[in-house]
Amino acid sequence: MLRTASILLLALLPLAAQVVKPSFGVTLQSELRESIRVLIIDGQNNHGWAATTKALKATLEATGRFTVTVSTSPGKKGTKEAWAAWRPTFTDHQVVVGNYNGQPWPEPVNKAYLAFIEGGGGAVNVHAANNSFADWKEWNRLIALGWRGPKFGDRVTVNDKTGAQLRTAKGKGPGAGHGRQHSFLVTVRAKAHPIMKGLPTWWKHAKDELYHGQRGPGENMQILSSAWSDPKSGGTGEHEPITWVVPHGKGNVVTTVLGHHWGGQKDFEALHCVGFQTVLARACEWAGTGTVTIPVPKGFPTDKATSITTPSEIRWRAR
């Protein structure tokens, strides 16, 4: 009987191997990868922060690459007790996405945020997130350029022919602003950077605010993309930075000025632009891991046409 059982076990071993042996196809590889932990900070903004957070979260989760949690600050009328209790757990995450533009954070939160970046954490700031904290010196270094007046610091634009950064001294030229919302062409400047690799040189972004005249220290920044600020739309007639990176300590901070959405706004053109969603997802992956595996999805905008799709309808495929 023992001999019979042994023979039966040996006969079943190949079948068992076939059952447990992974195929290592595209889907399984994606499932086996550990999720990148993302924390979105919101709670105050002159834009529709709740709807924006919902859209950002949906985009990141749709890729299958991220686990996203949200920390919402007290509102403008928040009590001292509420602010004292608000302590985002930055170190439980790999990336912090900024969707906050409001009152200064408590000093312990500031210190924890800086320590997180210096220790190797990543940050991705979206649209009006770079409007905040004008009096926080370290923050201004992290974002390089922000929504500030012309006397605040230098302005940085891009030479369209060479891609070189052009600096305008403090006090000269326009301060931060934007013209009328419109669709515009984004130019990729750092084609070899993992966030931008594989993107077309020019792609048409959906209707959005095109920030111009951003001011700040502008130090150690690598501009990944820019856009022509058309005077016909109230712009400056220069190539303005759109997405850029600043290293800090062991971490990196990505800022993109794309992603406008007013409170109560019915359409989600800017946030559902496939180009914006691709840059957001790849920026978060890179800021959190130093690499990018998220591909450029089908339906990415061309230089002739925009592409607007809800996050769940984008077909993300792992490499």
For the stretch 48-74, pLDDT in tens is: 999 999 999 999 999 999 999 999 999
Per-domain boundaries in the chain: 34-313
The residue assigned the tokens 């990336």 is 95
d(CA 80, CA 103): 13
294 confidence band (pLDDT: 50, 70, 90): very high
For the stretch 175-215, pLDDT in tens is: 999 999 999 999 999 999 999 999 999 999 999 999 999 99
Judge whether 56 and 268 are in contact, CB under 8 Å: no
Handedness of CA 134, 263, 72, 117 (dihedral sign): negative
Q: Over 70: is that where the pLDDT of 17 sits?
A: no
Residues listed for the chain: 319
For the stretch 214-244, pLDDT in tens is: 999 999 999 999 999 999 999 999 999 999 9
19 confidence band (pLDDT: 50, 70, 90): very low
80 confidence band (pLDDT: 50, 70, 90): very high
Q: What tokens appear for 137 in the block?
A: 């010196």
Question: What is 34-313's CATH superfamily?
Answer: Class I glutamine amidotransferase (GATase) domain (3.40.50.880)
Residue 114 has a pLDDT of: 98
Buried b (16+ CB within 10 A) or exposed e, 78-95: beeeebeebebebeebbb
Residue 33 has a pLDDT of: 73
